[in-house]
Amino acid sequence: MKKQSILPLSAKTTIGFLGGGQLARMSAAVVMRLGMRAAVFSGSGDSGSGNNQVPQSGAVPDKAAALQPLEWMTPLRYPGRFDDEEALVRFARECDVVTLENEFLDGELLLRVREKSGTPMWPSPSSFLQLESKWLEKETFRKAGIPVTPYEKASSVQELSQFGKTHGYPFVLKSSKGGYDGYGNRTVHDPGGIGDAFASLGGEAGHELIAEAFIPFHKELAVQVARNHTGTAVYPCCETIQQGHICKTVIVPAPIDKLIADEACRLAVQAVEAVDGIGLFAFEFFLTDDGRLYLNESAPRPHNSGHYTIEGCITSQFENHVRAVAGLPLGPTDMRIPVAVMENILGVRNGPAVAEVPEALWDTREAHLHIYGKQSSRIGRKMGHLTVLGDELVETAGKAAELASKIVL
């Protein structure tokens, strides 16, 4: 790894974010705390309504309401689409470094943008190119000797039928690019469901799909890793609990054998080294009943599973994201307190976003509420999170679940 340029902590230093959602917002808060400026390329041609991957039902229709969370925090807002090369180049030229908030991007395009603008980009386009689709991601990690779920490209119903015969049912069919929070995935339970799943994910239109064997896992785990030329910082292994394909709860440290937790951390470091990654990366694992780990997915950016680090660790994932891309020494990742439990606050209605918060939350020690500043709520949309810190898992988890259940957005 080559030595990076170290950015000065100056009001003239600008860190640019491709994407303006809550992940960029929480990273940008660190940028501003360190006296630098945050700029955002929101990925739309107008006021910045996002990556447009999923229709926003129930959204407030006025233009201002389309602004993303980071866009409300900074005047350095740049319109343009993620496929507009010239707009991306203009944005990059205004920044001292560019980083990512999402992976709905094209690696070859990012490579051209970096070359034309001359602006450093972390993670680098070459790292991103190894992860930009689920197919490439699996190939990258398999070749690096990291256990992954059995997988194959799926370009026809016939190929899926053969995959089912080989690996059994159910199996998971995924869009190779663009899927998240349950979008872009279908579980195929039997041969009769293949055709509908294939068509619904765009297989007939030529969209790249990947079939993955179903792993009967015991727990889902995650590890965040920050890396740059100064070193590598690894966060504790956490357990993630899903609800409707969306992460609902994160428990740290994961209630598993320490040897398994250490192995997950080792594999996460191996994975980030495999792509020579600079920045903040997150890795999700399946843990089987017999103690085997499989790397499921990765993210070349801060991750929902690491939000607990804001209050739970000495250095948050967002601060180490900024430090990593700015070429600064990475901070320690030790936990400040024995247990942290994070609950995502998901939308329960469609309409303007106004939070209803129980009085008990304000009186609860070590309860930390984050509302993301989205202008419209949607059922199942991530609107905020609550982290509760404590000394004992059961009590802390119970308090977090109780308080989160009474927050309405």
Q: Give pLDDT tens digits for 313-350.
A: 999 999 999 999 999 999 999 999 999 999 999 999 99
pLDDT at 244: 81
pLDDT at 66: 67
pLDDT at 45: 55
Q: What is the DSSP string of 371-395?
A: E---SEE-TT-EEEEEEEEESSHHH
Q: Which class is domain 14-121? A: alpha beta
Say if residue 303's pLDDT is above 70. Answer: yes
pLDDT at 56: 30
In the chain, domain spans: 14-121, 150-213, 217-405
How far is residue 94's CA from residue 88's CA, in Å, rounded to a whole number?
10
pLDDT at 102: 86
pLDDT at 61: 32
From residue 63, alpha-carbon distances to 23, 48, 67 in Å are 22, 9, 7
Instruction: For residue range 171-211, list pLDDT tens digits in order.
Output: 999 998 866 655 688 999 999 999 999 999 999 888 899 99
pLDDT at 50: 35
pTM, 2 dp? 0.91
Mean pLDDT of the chain: 91
pLDDT at 181: 56
Domain 217-405 has CATH 2.40.50.100: no
**C-beta of residue 405 within 8 angstroms of C-beta of residue 345:** no
How far is residue 400's CA from residue 393's CA, in Å, rounded to a whole number?
10
Instruction: For residue range 101-156, list pLDDT tens digits in order.
Output: 988 899 999 999 999 999 999 999 999 999 989 999 999 999 999 999 999 999 99
Say if residue 254's pLDDT is above 70. Answer: yes
pLDDT at 176: 87
Report residue 88 as tokens. 């991306």
Is the bond preceding residue 302 a cis peptide, omega within 30 degrees? Answer: no
pLDDT at 180: 61
Say if residue 48's pLDDT is above 50. Answer: no
Domain 150-213 has CATH 3.90.1010.10: no
